[in-house]
Amino acid sequence: DGGITQSPKYLFRKEGQNVTLSCEQNLNHDAMYWYRQDPGQGLRLIYYSQIVNDFQKGDIAEGYSVSREKKESFPLTVTSAQKNPTAFYLCASSTPGGPGLGDEQFFGPGTRLTVL
């Protein structure tokens, strides 16, 4: 089965600890994305990567870091510098296309991070 997996589904951490969220896809997609969603709000882009070994900051990158060493994997680290890390984190992937030619994003099930 092709898809995107995120683990764990629920994660609890103490304040001041770094935590890494995993995201793996076997869809052979080039692009991957990390979003954060707070209750009652839309998704905000943290980081995105169009190809291996390259990534760009999104709208709210402060306090987060990523790596893209393999096409299949795009882990996100929530550092202690992130002021309000408790949120729903969603990973997505897509195959970049031209206008009207695709690049729809497919999402993993998400990780709910709670920092105590």
Name the residues that contact other proteins, by CB under 8 A. 31, 33, 35, 41-45, 48, 50, 56, 58-59, 88, 90, 96-100, 102-110
Smallest separation (angstroms) from other proteins to the CB of 108:
6
Smallest separation (angstroms) from other proteins to the CB of 102:
8
Q: Which is nearer to other proteins, 101 or 116 (CB)?
A: 101
**Alpha-carbon span 37 to 28, nearest angstrom:** 25
Closest CA to 78 of 3, 26, 11: 11
Smallest separation (angstroms) from other proteins to the CB of 54:
11
The contacts of residue 14 (CB under 8 Å, 6+ apart) are: 115, 116
Q: Which is nearer to other proteins, 29 or 78 (CB)?
A: 29
